[in-house]
Structure 1
Amino acid sequence: MSEKQEPSIWQGFKAFLMRGNVVDLAVAVVIGAAFTNIVNAVVKGIINPLVGAVGTQNLDHYSSCLSSSCEGDQGIQLMWGSVLGATLSFVITAAVVYFLMVLPMAKYLARLEARRKDQEKGTEATPEVIEVTELEVLKEIRNALVAQRGSGHDER
C-alpha cells in the first residue's frame, strides 16, 4: 500500500498565492486604503463641521466616574464620550460611503445593465431606474475581473 504524499507547505503557500482571490483582495485593500482618504476628507471637511454647528465636534471630555473621586489618574473613569464619538464617526462614514459612493454606483450599473439588455433585444433603453441588489453588483464586478484576467492571459 502506498501512502499519498501531502503537498509541502511551500507548495500549499504557492497555490494559495496563485488563486485569483488573493490578487483581487490585494487590489481591493490598496484601493480601499486610497479611498479612505477621500471619505475621511468628506467627513472631516463637511460632515463634522455640520455636526459641530449643532453640538460639539469633540466628545472625548465626556466621562463618568465610578469611584468616589476621579482626579488625575485616581479613580475609575468611563470614557463614554470617546465611545460615542467613535460610534458617530463610524455611522457618519458609513452613511457617506453608502449615499455618495455605493448607491450612485449601483444605479449606474443598473442603467448599464438595462442598456445592455435593451441592445440585445434591439429596443431603446428606458430612463426609469432599476433596483439592483448588492449581490448582483458584486457578481458583475467578479465577472468583469474574471473577464479581464482571462483576456490578460490570452495576450501573452
Structure 2
Amino acid sequence: MLKGFRDFITRGNVIDLAVAVVIGAAFTAVVNAVVTGLINPVISMFFEADSLNEAMQVELFGGSVLSFGLILGAIINFLVVAAVVYFVFVMPMNHVKQRAEERIRSGQPPAAGDPPTPTEVELLGQIRDLLAEQAGSAQTGGKHAGS
C-alpha cells in the first residue's frame, strides 16, 4: 500500500502539477501587483475610483449594485495572465520545439542535450532482432521442456 502511494507521488505528472501550482501562486502575486500598481491608477484617473471594483457601478432600485468595473477587472486580469503565459512559456517552448524539428528534418545532428533519434531502418532492425530473439527462445524453451 505504501509502495503504491510512493509510486503515485513520485510519478512525473504529480510533481509537474505541484510545480505548476506553486508557480501559479507566485504568478498570481505578480499579476496582482501589475493590476494594483499599473492598471488601478489609470482607472482611477479616468473613472474617479480607487480600483476597477469601484468603477462603473450602477445602482438598481432595490439597493443592489451592478459592478461593471469588477467584471472588466477580471477580464483584464485574465488577459494579462494569458499574455504572460503565452509570451513567457508557450512561445519560447514552441520555438525550441520548432528548431528541434527543423534540425531533424534537415539531417543535422541533434543539439548537445537532445537524445539521439534512431532512423526508421535502425528501428526496424531492432524490431527484427527482438522478434528473432523471441522466436529463438520459444524454440529453445520448447526443446528443453520436451527433453
Q: Normalization by structure 1: what TM-score?
A: 0.48
Question: Is 1:35 equivalent to 2:23 in the alignment?
Answer: yes
What secondary structure, in the 3-state scheme, does the structure 2 residue paired with 1:55 have?
helix
What pairs up with 1:53-72 in 2 under 5 angstroms? 53-56=41-44, 58-62=51-55, 63-67=57-61
Residues 48-103 of structure 1, C-alpha deviations (whole Å, 9 max, x = no match): 533345334721113211116xxxxxx12122222221121111111111112111
- Return 5+ residue gaps in structure 2 as ranges: 45-49, 112-147
Name the CA distance, whole Å, in 2 between partners of 1:47 and 1:78: 21
Looking at secondary structure, tell me which structure has more helix per residue: 2
What secondary structure, in the 3-state scheme, does the structure 1 residue paired with 2:54 have?
coil
Aligned partners of 1:43 and 1:96 also within 8 Å: no
What secondary structure, in the 3-state scheme, does the structure 1 residue paired with 2:52 have?
coil
Residues 8-36 of structure 1, C-alpha deviations (whole Å, 9 max, x = no match): xxxxxx9xx9xx9xx56533431221121
Evaluate the alpha carbon distance shift between residue 46 and residue 64 of structure 1 in structure 2; reply closer, same or farther with a 3 A threshold. Answer: closer
Amino acid aligned to 1:36: G
- Report how many residues are paired: 102
Amino acid aligned to 2:90: V
- Return 5+ residue gaps in structure 1 as ranges: 1-13, 69-74, 126-156
Greater length-normalized contact order (CA 8 Å, ≥ 6 residues apart):
1
Q: Normalization by structure 2: what TM-score?
A: 0.51
* 1:84 aligned partner: 72
Percent identical across equivalent pairs? 28
Question: Is 1:100 equivalent to 2:88 in the alignment?
Answer: yes
* RMSD between superposed Cα atoms in Å: 3.6
Give structure 1 regions of 4+ aligned residues with deviation exceeding 6 angstroms. none
Question: C-alpha displacement at 1:42, in angstroms?
Answer: 3.4
Higher alpha-carbon Rg: 2
Question: C-alpha displacement at 1:46, in angstroms?
Answer: 4.3
What secondary structure, in the 3-state scheme, does the structure 2 residue paired with 1:60 have?
helix
